[in-house]
């Protein structure tokens, strides 16, 4: 799956630090920490007319990631919401929109790793684009397991949503070379962690399983799916899952803000059914209730 350029995004306005810029002028300094060391945190948000899906949780995760990385001058939630609001209004966007929200450690006085070189505060970027769901959620996606492991807290805690997901990018490159849509990453013990850019679920004998969040991003769509299951009497649990269990599952699906819920129809050449009633039930429940999770920009 390769996203295409959407001409509606040719002249969008992008928020950087304290104001909006036309797309062509929306640039950050070569001294910015994101350029120097991938030293930034981010969120992906989806906009519906009813509001932004799980806005508060996304903002909490952004600010928590920034705190873990000891950013100083972290904007308040109200300040971030105001920047998002101004960006959406400037672009006339209220649906079919995805926002890439990035907070970098900011500009350095000279190149170098040391955060003490960052003396002009953090830099918030609000990049809102016209972007419908990125996967074809009817036909599903094909994936391969990657030799690249997803890291756990022993190395770099996967709970930090940072801009340094190079191991995930390497897994995606392996999938590209194999002609598949995504790379399936294992944790350091060999259990399933997640796809390179989304979380994974497997339906086995009427139970919806997802890997523990030890070595994957604790995705907000993942949490929403678990909540929807529990609210609708569908058994749902976190578990250590092996590749063999996924190959033989009644259904497998990926979750993320970019694509919402996407059936996985092939793993390492093994066909996974996408028509099991339990899978259709969960996908249907999500579709019917996701807009109830939208929150307005209230600052
Ligand atoms: C590595 C990774 N896993 C999973 C996800 C899905 O997370 P969410 O449901 O919060 O969008 C993302 C999205 O940013 C991601 O980057």
Quick: pLDDT tens for 115-152. Answer: 999 999 999 999 999 999 988 899 999 999 999 999 99
Q: What is the pLDDT of residue 199?
A: 98
- Cα of first residue to Cα of last residue in the chain, in angstroms, is 37
CB 226 within 8 A of CB 213: no
Q: What is the pLDDT of residue 36?
A: 93
Q: Give the domains, in start order, of the chain with CATH numbers.
A: 11-130 (3.30.470.10), 141-292 (3.20.10.10)
Q: Is 199 in the pocket of ligand 1 (CB under 6 A)?
A: yes
Q: What is the pLDDT of residue 1?
A: 73
Ligand 1: which residue has its CA nearest to atom 7? 219
Q: What is the pLDDT of residue 2?
A: 82
Q: Is 217 in the pocket of ligand 1 (CB under 6 A)?
A: yes
Q: What residues of the chain score a pLDDT lower than 70? A: none
Distance between alpha carbon 126 and the CA centroid of its chain, in Å?
A: 15
Which phi-psi region, left, alpha or beta, contains residue 115 (left: φ > 0; alpha: ψ -120 to 50)?
Answer: alpha
Neighbour-count burial of 123, counting CB atoms closer than 10 A to its CB (0-12 exposed, 13-18 middle, 19+ buried): buried
Adjacent-strand bridge partners of 22: 13
Quick: pLDDT tens for 186-217. Answer: 999 999 999 999 999 999 999 999 999 999 99
Q: Is 106 in the pocket of ligand 1 (CB under 6 A)?
A: no
Q: State whether residue 33 is helix, strand or coil.
A: helix
What Rg do the C-alpha atoms of the chain give, in angstroms?
A: 19
The CA distance from 142 to 125, in Å, is 32
| Residue 239, H or E segment | strand 236-239
Counting atoms of ligand 1 from 1, which one is nearest the CA of 223? 9
Q: What is the pLDDT of residue 238?
A: 98
Q: What is the pLDDT of residue 105?
A: 98
């Amino acid at each position: 799956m390769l996203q295409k350029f959407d001409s509606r995004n040719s002249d969008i306005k992008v928020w950087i630090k304290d104001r909006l810029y036309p797309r062509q002028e929306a640039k950050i300094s070569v001294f910015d920490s994101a350029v120097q060391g991938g030293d930034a945190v981010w969120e992906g948000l989806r906009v519906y007319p009813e509001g932004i899906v799980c806005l508060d949780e996304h903002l909490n995760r952004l600010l928590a990631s920034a705190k873990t990385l000891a950013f100083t001058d972290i904007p308040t939630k109200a300040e971030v919401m105001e920047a998002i609001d101004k960006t959406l209004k400037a672009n006339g966007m209220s649906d079919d929109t995805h926002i890439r929200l990035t907070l970098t450690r900011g500009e350095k006085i000279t190149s170098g790793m040391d955060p003490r070189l960052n003396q002009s505060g953090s830099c918030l970027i609000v990049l809102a684009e016209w972007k419908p769901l990125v996967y074809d959620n009817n036909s599903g996606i094909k994936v391969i397991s990657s030799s690249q492991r997803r890291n756990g807290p022993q190395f770099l805690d996967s709970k930090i949503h940072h801009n340094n997901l190079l191991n995930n990018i390497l897994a995606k490159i392996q999938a590209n070379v194999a002609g598949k849509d995504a790379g399936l990453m294992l944790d350091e013990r060999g259990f399933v962690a997640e796809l390179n850019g989304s979380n994974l679920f497997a339906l086995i004998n009427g139970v919806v399983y997802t890997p523990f969040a030890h070595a994957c991003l604790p995705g907000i769509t993942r949490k929403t799916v678990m909540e929807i299951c529990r609210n609708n009497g569908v058994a749902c649990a976190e578990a250590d899952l092996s590749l063999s269990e996924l190959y033989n599952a009644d259904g497998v699906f990926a979750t993320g803000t970019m694509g919402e819920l996407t059936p996985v129809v092939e793993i390492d050449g093994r066909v996974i059914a996408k028509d099991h009633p339990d899978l259709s039930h969960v996908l249907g429940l999500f579709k019917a209730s996701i807009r109830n999770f939208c929150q307005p920009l209230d600052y």
